[in-house]
Amino acid sequence: MADMEDAPKPDFRNGVALDALPDGGMVLGRIDTEEAILLRSGDSLFAVGAYCTHYHGPLAEGLVVDDTVRCPWHHACFSLRTGEALRAPALDSIPCWRVERVGDKAFVREKLAGPSPRSAPPAPRSTNTPTSVVIVGGGAAGLAAADMLRREGYPGAVTMISADDSPPCDRPNLSKDFLAGTAPDDWIPLRTREYYAERQIELVLDSPVSSIDVRQKRVQLENGKQVEFGALLIATGAEPLRLDIPGTVESQVFYLRTFSDSRAIVAKAVTAGRAVVVGASFIGLEVAAALRARGIDVHVVGPESVPLERVLGTEVGRFVRELHESHGVAFHLGRTVGRIDGSRLTLSDGTGLEADFVVLGVGVRPSIALAEQAGLAIDRGIVVDEYLETSARGVFAAGDVARWPDRHSGDRIRIEHWVVAQQQGQVAARNILGQRQPFNAVPFFWSQHYDVTINYVGHAEKWDAVAIDGKLAARDCAVTYKRGDRTLAVATISRDLRSLQAERAIELAGR
Ligand SMILES: Cc1cc2nc3c(=O)[nH]c(=O)nc-3n(C[C@H](O)[C@H](O)[C@H](O)COP(=O)(O)OP(=O)(O)OC[C@H]3O[C@@H](n4cnc5c(N)ncnc54)[C@H](O)[C@@H]3O)c2cc1C
Ligand code: FES
C-alpha cells in the first residue's frame, strides 16, 4: 500500500485508461475531494469510496468478488452497485458513483443515491412475516439483526432487551485501544441514541429477561414486565467463567465482558503499577498488551505450556509469547493461582507475585439458561438449523450462543467471534422475514497484540498438518491448518489479501 499511498492519485473525472484495469483489478484515485477506487469485475466498471465504514480499512487492498469488494482488515463486504454494507462488521454503506465508458477510457460521473433504511424497498414478504420482533441481547448479533430488519423494510415493532447498562458497544475494542487508553469513550457505542429513535428500535437496557414462553410467545423480564413477540431472536452471548480463588477480595479481581467492566479496569489501572492476568487466552493477552501500553508491570498466569496453542498451534503460540515478552510481559505458565492474600498471589507451585489488581480471562460459557428453561434443544449451545432457527418455530438464535451446522467443516459448531455474531444476526433477521437464507459464511476473527494483528479464517478444532508460508519472526506469514488435503483454516500476519483469498477458497470448496 505504501506505493499506492505515495503515488499521485489520478482524478477519475479525467478518465482512466481501461488498460490499467484488469478483471478484478482496482485503481486508487480521487473524485473531486474524495478518495475513491475504480474497479473492474468482468465487463462492469464501478467507482466507490476508498475506505471501509468499519475501521477505515483501505478497500484498494481488498478483494473483488463478483460485484462486491471485501475489506482487507476484518472482511466486511460491500456492494459495488449500491455501496451497501452487505456483510458485517461494517454496517454503513460506502459512497458510489456512476462510471461511463468512453472509447478506451472510464470516466466517473455523478454520485449515486446510497441505500438508506427508509428508502430501501421492502423485502419480499412471506405470509408469516411476524407482527413484532423481540431480540433478547444488546450485543453484536442483536444490533446487527435489528439493523437488518429495518434495512429490509420491516415495518413492525422491534424491541431489543439487554441486560447491559449501556447500548450495544464495540466489544472487541474493550480489551484493545479503549483499555490501552488510545480510544475515547465515544468510540465505543456502535450507534448513537438518535439511530435507535430514527429507526424505531426500542432499546430496553439494564433489563435481564428471566424467562421465555415459546407457546404464549412472550418474554418475562426480571423487573416484572412482559413483552409479547411475533418472532424472537435469542442473542444472549456468553459470560466469563468465574474462578473461586481462596482469599479473593472482590474489589481487586476483574472480569471483562461489558463496557462497564472495561471502564472499571481502566479506573483501577490509572493508579496501579502491577497487574496479574490469569488466563493466557486471546482476551487475557490483549488485556496484557493494553496494560503494558499504560506502563503497568504485567504477569500472565495460565495452566497451558504455550499460549493459544489449542487454537493457533505451537509455533504461532510461541511467537505470541515471545512478542509479549519482548514488550515486558512475564509469563508463569503450567501454573494456576492457589490463593490471593491482599496484594500477594501464591501460584500452584508456591511462586509469589505482587499485584495491585488481577484480571481473570479464563474463557466464557454461552448464556443458554433462558433457552434451557424455555425447553429449546441444547447441545453445548442453542441448537439451530442452517437458517439459525431453534427447535421452536419462529424462535431464532445467533452469536456466541448458537451451535449451527457449518457447511465448511461439516461439523455443528459454536464460535465466539465478533464478525460471526454480527453476520448471524443479519442472516437471522432476514430469515425472521421469511427469506430462508442459509448461514454459510466462513468464520473469521482477528486478535491484536501491540502492532501485530492476527487474522484467522475458517475453523480448525483438530488438524494434522500446519504449513507456514513466510516467517513468523518477520511478522509476515500465512499459516495453513490442514486435515488430509483439506484446508480447514488460515491464520495470517501482515497478509490481509491472502486472508481474503483463503476465505474465498474455503467458501468455494464448501459449495
Ligand atoms: C473484551 C472482548 C474482546 C473481544 N475481542 C474480539 C476480537 O478481537 N475478535 C473477535 O472476533 N471477537 C472478539 N470478542 C468476542 C466477541 O465480542 C463476541 O463473540 C461477540 O460479542 C458475541 O456477540 P453476541 O451478540 O453473541 O453476544 P454479546 O455481544 O456478548 O451480547 C450479548 C447480549 O446479551 C445480553 N444478555 C445476556 N443475557 C441476557 C438476559 N437474560 N436478558 C437480557 N439480555 C441478556 C447481554 O447483556 C448482551 O447485551 C471479544 C470479546 C470480549 C469480551
Ligand atoms: S476496517 Fe473494514 S472490516 Fe474492519
Whether 222 shows a pLDDT value over 60: the answer reads yes
**Substitution candidate for ligand 1 out of 171, 205, 218, 232 with most atoms within 8 A of CB:** 171
Nearest atom in ligand 2 to 89's CA:
3
Check pocket membership of 70 for ligand 2, CB cut-off 6 A.
Answer: no
The ligand minimizing its distance to the Cα of 236 is 1
Contacts of 474 (CB under 8 A, 6+ apart): none
Q: Is the CB of 232 under 6 A from ligand 2?
A: no
User: Distance between CA atoms of 66 and 39, rounded to whole angstroms?
Assistant: 11
**5 confidence band (pLDDT: 50, 70, 90):** low
53, 74, 177, 426: which to mutate for ligand 2, most atoms within 8 A of CB?
Answer: 74
Residue with cell 425447553: 375
Nearest protein Cα to ligand 1, atom 27: 237
In angstroms, the CA 381 to CA 394 distance is 18
Query: Does the structure show a pLDDT above 90 at 17?
Result: yes
pLDDT tens column, 108-124: 999 998 886 534 444 44
pLDDT digits (tens, 9 = 90+) for 223-271: 999 999 999 999 999 999 999 999 998 889 999 999 999 999 999 999 9
Residue 1 pLDDT greater than 80, yes or no: no
Query: How far, CA to CA in Å, does 301 sit from each of 236, 280, 285, 340, 346?
Result: 29, 7, 10, 13, 11
Which ligand is in closest contact with the Cα of 167? 1
Sheet holding 157-161, edge to edge: 201-204, 157-161, 132-136, 231-234, 395-397
Residue type (1 letter), 158: V
CA distance 6 to 144: 36
For residues 510 and 413, is the Cβ–Cβ distance under 8 A? no
**All three cell numbers of 443:** 468464520
* Residue 198 CA, ligand 1 centroid: distance in Å: 25
Q: Is the CB of 76 under 6 A from ligand 2?
A: yes
Pinpoint the alpha helices (H) of 303-459: 309-326, 369-373, 418-432
- Ligand 2 centroid, distance to 90 Cα (angstroms): 6
Amino acid at 476: D
> What is the phi/psi pair of residue 207, to 5°?
-135, 80
Is ligand 2 within 6 A of the CB of residue 55? Answer: yes
Report the distance separating Cα 190 and Cα 167, nearest Å.
8
Q: What is the mean pLDDT of residues 462-475?
A: 96
Q: Supply the pTM of this predicted model.
A: 0.95
Instruction: Specify the higher pLDDT residue, 347 or 3.
Output: 347
For residue 10, how far is its CA from the centre of ligand 1 (angstroms)?
Answer: 43
